[in-house]
Amino acid sequence: MSDFNIQYVARLARIALTPEEEQRLGDQLGNILGYIAKLREVDVSGVEPMSHAFPLANVMRPDEAGESLTQDEALQNAPSRSSGLFVVPNIVE
């Protein structure tokens, strides 16, 4: 677990942490990773991974327009909006 780098993973997760949070979360996650490492004891050779409780099949429907939110409803919770769009900082200068 020595290779768990809290700063690197928090960056991947897009979560800004304070130095105190880095310290505390790093310690706690070290404990948790130590616990979950017990799965290494299990012999999983030849076992298929399970991603869902039941086998999933593709669900298809005709490509027809149905009811949906209006543009105004879809934008009603946006922290910043303009001209029917979400506003974000400049990406390209």
Residue 2 or 54: the one with the smaller Cβ distance to other proteins is: 54
Q: What angle do CA 48, 53, 57 make, to 5 degrees?
A: 85
Q: How far is the CB of 54 from other proteins (least distance, A)?
A: 6
Tell me, by CB under 8 A, how many residues bind other proteins: 53
Nearer to other proteins, 56 or 65 (CB): 56
Residue whose tokens read 């669900």? 59
Instruction: Rule CB under 8 A: choose which of 2, 16, 64, 82 binds other proteins.
Output: 16
Q: SS3 for 82?
A: strand
DSSP SS3 for 85 = strand
